[in-house]
Amino acid sequence: MRLHMFFLAFSLMLTMPLVTVAGEADEHFSQGVKAAGAGDYKNALSHFLRVRELGQDKPVLDYNLGVTYYRLGQYSEARKVFIRLVKEPEFTHLAYFNLGLIANKSGDERSATDWFLRTYDNTSDAKLKALSAKALERLGVNLKKGSTTKKWSGFASVNAGYDSNVKLANEDLVGVVGESDSSLEVMGAGNYWLRGGREDGVRLSFSANMQKYQTLSNDDFSQFKLGLSRFGKLGDWNMRFTGSWNESYLGGNNYQRIFGGEARGQYGLGDGKYLRLRYRLNYITATDTIFEVLGGWRHQLRAGMQFNQGAHRFRVYYQLDLNERSDRVRATGFTSFSPTRHALRALAYLRLSEKWKGRLDARYRFSGYNDATTDTNIVTSPVTREDSQLRLGARLDYGFARNWEVEGQYAYYDNSSNIAANSYTRSVVFLGVNRFF
């Protein structure tokens, strides 16, 4: 049976108290309910819209409008109505569920899964919880120990891009290359739940990407990563602990290996607000002696907030990076590759319609290096390097078929340094196709 057959529609509506409206508005509302009950949704829509014209704007009217638009196949209009209803506490979980049905009907299984998960994880209504569970099962999601997890998930992507100022894989290494080039990038990632789910489970993750430039082949970059994560609860915190292994290649040669450990925590503050904390420790080994200056330790500490508003999500955070690298000593002097970094970042994930999504990204980062650079090939007198970087980004996605989307990205970098060779601006543009599993 198709998912839309589970639509709560008027069976739920009839159990809800009707808003008392006066005179003509009351009559049109009643006539709309009767028409909908008889399956005459076109007539029902006419009555409900007339109620709105008469100045009534109540959540129960919106709910009936949303249901009627859905029944008439006007999914874009139905979605707008249910997005408004997310903000109404009495209707929030009904809105989540109906947005899931609309997404599924529109061929966007990934968004449908997200909406049904929100319903299942948050509603206290047994009937609604059961309906969302059945919808999730039909989308291939396992329900174990009260959690909702899809055994396998992942994506594959192909992107064509242009970089106005190609740099080596690690920007601290040699500064700006100063040449532009186009590139082709192929990437993929997957997750497999060995047991359980986000409430209590273990997940294996893997990813790989390869970027090849049209002319600057020495800057071709690729990497693969393997990780194992333990999910669980610590009091009221949702926790994740991860161990990972990463291999990186530059110009076709393996140059860097990273072993990492990470702890993440999320604490719900209510009303769609979450406190998010993360600590990451990396041990970096240079597998090519040319890059031995990068070897050493990196600590990253992050604290931030997430805000959910309807279909949109907003995140802000502060991150501190502490580095203790090998640095470089040669006959001409010393160069530090061990920055302490402070970053502020804000992101907005926007659901623009059933098929369109967007992301806006802004970050400011200050880097102060631990020791003065004395290498006379770089500076004429000792200087402790300090960089200020602004990065602005935008992304737009369009879902053109079930589990398929086309994506466009733009990022702009402006890095100012008291060592001139490390000052630069950079623009990167990508256009690609993604397939989700």
Q: What is the pLDDT of residues 316-345, one digit of tens each?
A: 999 999 999 999 899 999 999 999 999 999
Residue 138's SS3 state is helix
Angle between helices 59-71 and 75-85 (to 10 degrees): 160
Report the C-alpha gap between 416 and 412 in whole angstroms: 13
For 219, other C-beta atoms within 10 Å of its C-beta total 20
Question: How confident is the model over 100-121, as a mean pLDDT?
Answer: 83
Specify the higher pLDDT residue, 106 or 212.
212
By three-state DSSP, how is residue 127 classified? helix
Fold observed for domain 3-139: 1.25.40
With a CB cutoff of 8 Å and minimum separation 6, the contacts of 98 are 7, 8, 66, 67, 70, 78, 82
Same topology for domains 3-139 and 152-436, yes or no? no
Nearest C-alpha neighbor of 217 from the set 256, 184, 252: 252
pLDDT mean over 126-144: 82
| Residue 326 contacts residue 296 (beta carbons within 8 Å) | yes
- The CA-CA-CA angle for residues 279, 321, 257, to 5°, reads 80
Instruction: Please tell me the predicted confidence (pLDDT) of residue 240.
Output: 96
How high does pLDDT run on average in the chain? 86
Task: Write b or e for each residue in 405-437: b if 16 or more Cβ atoms lie within 10 A of its Cβ, otherwise e.
Answer: bebebebebebebebeebebebebbbebebebe
Q: 112, 104 in Cβ contact below 8 A?
A: yes
CA dist 357 and 338 (Å) reads 38
The dihedral region occupied by 154, where left means phi > 0, alpha psi between -120 and 50, and beta the remainder, is: left
Report the pLDDT averaged over residues 100-113. Answer: 81
* Residue position matching structure tokens 């072993």: 259
Measured distance between the N- and C-terminal CA atoms of the chain, rounded to whole angstroms = 22
Q: Please write the tens of the pLDDT for every residue from 40-72.
A: 889 989 988 888 888 777 888 888 888 999 999
Higher pLDDT, 91 or 410: 410
Distance separating alpha carbons of residues 41 and 46, to the nearest angstrom: 9
3-class DSSP state for residue 219? helix
Q: Is the pLDDT of residue 133 over 60?
A: yes
Q: What local confidence, expressed as pLDDT, does residue 377 receive? A: 87
Helix (H, G, I), strand (E, B) or coil at 311: coil
Please, how many CA atoms are within 13 Å of residue 383, restricted to the half-sphere of its CB?
Answer: 16
Instruction: Kindly provide the b/e burial profile for residues 47-73, where b requires at least 16 CB atoms within 10 angstroms of the residue's own CB.
Output: bbebbeeeebebbbbbbbbbbbbbbee
Contact 99, 77 (CB under 8 A): no
Structural domain spans, the chain? 3-139, 152-436
Beta bridge partners of 258: 246, 284
Could you tell me which CATH number the domain at 152-436 has? 2.40.160.40
Q: Would you state the pLDDT for residue 409? A: 97
Return all residues near 239 (Cβ < 8 A) that are at least 6 apart: 231, 232, 233, 263, 264, 265
Residues 185-198: tens digit of each pLDDT: 999 999 998 987 77
**pLDDT over 70 for what percent of the chain?**
90
User: Contact at 8 Å (CB) between 111 and 356?
Assistant: no
pLDDT band of 275, cuts 50, 70, 90: very high
Q: Would the pTM of this model clear 0.95, i.e. be above it? A: no
- Residue 285: predicted pLDDT: 95
**Which residue do the tokens 């003065």 mark?**
372
Question: Is residue 142 predicted with pLDDT exceeding 80?
Answer: no
